[in-house]
Amino acid sequence: MKRFVLAVAVAALAAGVAHADTIKVGVVGPFSGPFALQGKNFKAGIDAFFALNGKKVGDHDIEVVYRDVPTANPAQSKSLAQELIVREKVQYLAGFYFTPDAMAATPLLQQGNVPMVVMNAATSAIVTSSPYVVRTSFTTWQTASPIAKVAKDAGVAKAITLVSDYGPGVDAETAFKTAFEKEGGSVVESIRMPLSTNDFAPMMQRVKDSGAQALFVFLPSGPPTLAFVKAYNENGLKAAGIKFLATGDLTQESDLPALGEAGLGLTTTFHYAVSHDSPENKAFVAAAEKAIGNPAELSFPAVGAFDGMYVISKMIEATNGKQDAKNAVEAVKGLSWTSPRGPVSIDPDSRHITQNIYLREVAKDAGGKYYNKEIQTFEKQGDPGLAALKK
């Protein structure tokens, strides 16, 4: 009898879980403050996913709970993540624009039985900090390495690197240097610029004096980008034929109207361009532009968020709405699908996204709009940063 009661109780419990539930997803990102544009892109990507796929997975409804961390703030990120897990009872954590914010929340995952889907933060090490982290964005290593090959193919033997003096900048510097030296080139000088630099003219003088044939640059997106590109043009570096190499952060679509003519011809490597020519991307862009309101504001974080929601929907499907972080993450290892950015898959070992990296050039379309034109594809790029980490 006792056994029977227990069995009934267990069956009732199991049935309760299998019932239609509302699955909560907590998204942490910068929704106000200087980086609000990036948070807006997260939201646009998520809304676009719902617009195209609906808010239901099987019988379960997805509900997104947003939490705002305006600038990189690990303590705030951690306490909000905790609040989401404990009070809001979210089954999934997602978002995370800045690496420190993601890193601060990873220790909560195992105890909270919650997987984390990183939609932007681009430092290689995040996926190693917890087995429950999956990333659908990119890493700086992943996007910076192919440009070294581009440089070598264009006949550049000597390059100089200029990066903003902070984590991702140093990452980009090492990534480019490693890849470029592997190709047989040499980096003559590596300059780290203070984050608050407004006037880049002295750096341009350094570039000229170094005798490099190309410069590789990494800056946080926003005001410095504009000043840097202008300084490059105005100090005669463009005229002198010194090649401009960067990752796509520098030419993100929302900055292109401001760059204008000065941006024409800049070559960058990146995982996603809004202009990517595929039916999947056309559908995504149409939905995301509607979600964001102003089409000029749409850029790469949206696609990371869109694919992040796809991965979460697959996790919900695999666990049938049960809170089971281990099996949820297990289920998406090796998952492959066609993203708006092209064919992608989740690498089973690193849980990071394997994807095509594109070489793009800033061009002007018939309507006078500036866009990133994809001109070369590097297929199935993993994250070289993890290999470097293990050394």
Partner 1 sequence: MQTVLSIAVDALAYGMVLFIISIGLSVTMGLMRVINLAHGAFAMIGGYFASYAARDLGLGYGVGVLAAIVGTVIIAIPVERFLYRRIYGQPELTQVLMTIGITFCVIGIANFAFGPTLKTIPLPQMLQGSVDLGFRTIATHRLFSIVCGLVVAGALWFLIERTAFGTRLRATVDNAAMAASLGVRTQVVYAVSFAVAIGLAALGGVLGAELLPVEPYYALRYMVTFLVVVSVGGAGSIPGALIACLLLGAIDTTGRYFAPEYGEFFFYLAVIVIVTLFPRGLAGRFR
Binding site for partner 1 (CB under 8 A): 33-34, 36-37, 40, 165, 191-199, 201-203, 205-206, 209, 222-223, 226-227, 230, 234-236, 239, 254-255, 257-258, 260, 294, 296-297
CB of 197 to partner 1, least distance (A): 7
CB of 254 to partner 1, least distance (A): 5
Do 359 and 144 form a contact (C-beta atoms < 8 A)?
Answer: no
CB of 113 to partner 1, least distance (A): 36
Pick from 119, 114, 87: which is nearest to 102 by CA?
119
Of 31 and 378, nearer to partner 1 (C-beta) is: 31
Do 140 and 352 form a contact (C-beta atoms < 8 A)?
Answer: no
E strands, 102-208, in order: 116-118, 133-135, 158-164, 186-193
Query: What are the counts of helices (DSSP H) followed by strands (DSSP E) for the chain?
Result: 14, 15
Of 157 and 258, nearer to partner 1 (C-beta) is: 258
In sequence order, the 6+-apart residues with CB closer than 8 A to the CB of 311 are 117, 134, 136, 332, 335, 346
- Other beta carbons within 10 angstroms of residue 249's beta carbon come to 24
Of 204 and 359, nearer to partner 1 (C-beta) is: 204
Of 197 and 376, nearer to partner 1 (C-beta) is: 197
CB of 236 to partner 1, least distance (A): 5
Do 135 and 352 form a contact (C-beta atoms < 8 A)?
Answer: yes
Pick from 307, 329, 334: which is nearest to 115 by CA?
329
Of 54 and 236, nearer to partner 1 (C-beta) is: 236
CB of 262 to partner 1, least distance (A): 9
